[in-house]
Structure formats: C-alpha cells, structure tokens
Chains A and B, each alone.
Chain A
Amino acid sequence: MKVLAISGSLRRDSHNTALLRAASERMPAGVELELWDGLKAVPPYDEDDDVELAPAAVTALRSAVAGADAVLFATPEYNHSVPGSLKNAVDWVSRPLADNPLRSKPVAVIGASTGIFGAVWAQAELRKVLGALGARVLDHELAVGQAAQRISGGSVGDPEVLAELGDLVGELANAVYARREAVAAA
C-alpha cells in the first residue's frame, strides 16, 4: 500500500513537512509513504491550460495521486485558511470532477502552526474541499500548535504528537482496507 504525502508548505524547514517525515517512520507494516515535493512547480490553474497535454508538473501530480492508495495532507494556515499554492494544486487534481484521481480515495488532513491552534481552520477548509471533490475524508484531526516548541531541526520531538500521528496513519491504512472490502462486496 502506498500513501502519498503532500505538504502545503514550501519552506525548507517546514514544520508541516517535518510532520510528514515523522509519519513516514510510523507507517503500519506493508504501508509506504511517499513525500511529494513538486508543489512549487505547479502553475496557477487556468482552464485554457487544462487540456489533454497538461503542464508537466500537473501531470506528475495527477499520476502520483492516481498511483497512491491514500493521500495524507499537512497544511499550514495562512490568514485562517489553506495556503493558495496547496489549494491550487488540489484544484488541478480535481479536474475533471467526475473522474479525478482523488475520487473515493481515503485522505487525511493534519496541520501545524506556530500559534496555539495548530492550523485547525485551514484543516477544516481543506477537508471541506476534499469532500466536495469526492474524496473519502477521515474525520480524525491532528492540530499541532506551538510547532516551534514541538518540532525542531526538522524533527518532531513531542511523544504525544508522534503517538497521535501513528494512530492517524493507522486509521488511514484501515480506511484503504475498508474501501477494498466495500468495493469487493458491492
């Protein structure tokens, strides 16, 4: 099983990317996490460019999502919402809506911020967006507030965050198994 991890932060020492790296070390047996690092190359969405030969960065993103069994998003919060670059990438993946590669796919959203709230509004908005485009969105929320104290040097030091991260990726893997069973039974 493959989980694609997408960080909404481009910063080299991003707390959100650090969370995803920590998640990769806590995956259940048989589950591999692939960190996608192409966000900066995705151009702004333009329907005129959304043609059969889409921009290379978009094609790469769409195939990475299509090839994954689940997607784990980590989002920072900009002005109480999802960073524009991340929303833009999700918008590209969502077209055309009826057969986009996130459709029915289990997804989870986590987030970190240096403030006390841990990007809860950005997470809620991203969940809403993912639901609207047809993904199977986990309710499980992981809000890592005061990230500068809990994540340093690219490493997550807080044992509670690590434990919750482990629970969340386990739940995401279970959602993939449940989807396979539901499809087989349908």
Chain B
Amino acid sequence: MSTSTIAAPAGTWQLDKVHSSIAFQVPYLAGAFNGSFREFDGKLDLSDDGASLTGTAKVASVDVKDDNLSAHLQSPDFFDAESYPELSFTSDRIALDGESVEVSGEITIKGVTKQLAATGAAHGPVANLQGNDSLRLQLATTIDRTAFGVSWNAELPGGGQALSNDVTILAELYFVKEA
C-alpha cells in the first residue's frame, strides 16, 4: 500500500457541494434512521509531501424525513447545535492502493475529538465538462456515538434499547481541482 500518493495533479481540490453528500445511518428497532447534512464544505490538498482532507458540516442543516426528529437531533439530547454548531474532520493520513483508499484522522462531534479511519474507493481524475480535473472519494466508517456524548436512547417495552450506538457515516465526496 502506498502512503499519501494519489495519482492526481498536486494542488488544492475544492469540494463540489452539489454532487457530494455526507450521510449517516443508525440502526433503529428493526430498521434504520437515515439522514444527511445539507450544508458542508471541504477540500483536498495534494502535494509531493502527501495529501490532506479537511471538512466541516453544519449541525443545523441535518436533514431527516421527520421535522420532529430533526428538532430533537438539534437538541442537547443529541448534537446540541446551539453549543456545537459544526462537525469537523481533519485527516492525518491518506493511503491509496489501486482504487482502494483509507483515510485516517480526527473527527470532532459535539466538542469531542476522536481518531477514526474510513475506507472506500477513489475514482479519477477525470476532466469535467469545464476541462477541470475532478476526483471522487467514497468513504465509510462506523463510530460509537456515545463516545461523543450523543447518548440518547429509549428502553423498549420488551427489553433492550431502541437506537443503536453504532452510527455509519457515508461520505460521497467529489472534488474539482482549482484552476
């Protein structure tokens, strides 16, 4: 596995926010809650010394299919958007092996910073319709939400908890190289 070498031109690659998504999935009862963030930003820096990926997402922009759940997610029971309006990620290592990619770094949720590793695929670079190089990273990781103080749950009448502690984060990131 090669370290920090993406076979793409060095420089700053900005996140195309229209074609990217940052979503999460939490098992709930026998199904799952799916949600995403409407507002986020990020960039990828590639240089001869290595690669770095940074990004933020606005808690207030959380998008789930229920207004009451959205309001509950903003509250101190979950993200506490008033005190911690942003989630953030900063990579410390990006490793590529063919199309496989592993990104490790620090994620901050509700003011708590933890190390994580996300794995997935890298595609590109491909020249987009404007002739700029574009690159796609698909990343997934699973975190324990309670490690970040996002600990709400409900006891089920038959025993057990309603909501899983494990949350899968799915990032579909599409970068365009600055001209």
A residues whose Cβ falls under 8 Å from a Cβ of B: 97-98, 103-104, 131-137, 179, 182-183, 186
CB of A134 within 8 A of CB of B68, answer: no
Shortest Cβ distance from B150 into chain A, in angstroms? Answer: 13
Q: What residues of chain B lie closer than 8 Å to A186, measured between beta carbons?
A: 82-85
B82: nearest chain-A partner, CB-CB: A104
Chain B interface mostly helix, strand, loop or mixed? loop
Minimum Cβ distance to chain A for residue B79 (Å): 11
A-B contacts, 17 of them at CB < 8 A, read A97-B68, A97-B72, A98-B74, A103-B75, A104-B76, A104-B82, A131-B75, A131-B152, A132-B77, A134-B71, A134-B72, A134-B74, A134-B77, A135-B75, A137-B76, A182-B84, A186-B83
**Cross-chain contact B82 with A131 (CB below 8 angstroms):** no
Residues of A within 8 A of B70 (CB): 98
Instruction: Given A133-B75, A179-B83, output 12 extra A-B contacts at Cβ < 8 Å.
Output: A97-B68, A104-B82, A131-B75, A131-B77, A134-B75, A135-B75, A136-B80, A137-B76, A182-B82, A182-B84, A183-B83, A186-B82
Which chain B residue lies CB-closest to A186? B85
Q: Give chain B residues whose Cβ lies under 8 Å from the Cβ of A182.
A: 82-84
- Distance in angstroms between the alpha carbons of A79 and B49 in the assembled complex: 68
B residues 34-91 in Cβ contact with A at 8 Å: 67-68, 70-72, 74-77, 80, 82-85
Max chain B Cβ within 10 angstroms of own Cβ: one of A98, A134, A135, A182: A134
Q: Please, which residues of chain A bring their CB within 8 A of the CB of B83?
A: 179, 182-183, 186
B76 x A134 contact (CB < 8 A): yes
Q: Are A136 and B68 in contact (CB under 8 A)?
A: no
On chain B, the residues within 8 Å of A136 by CB distance are 76, 80
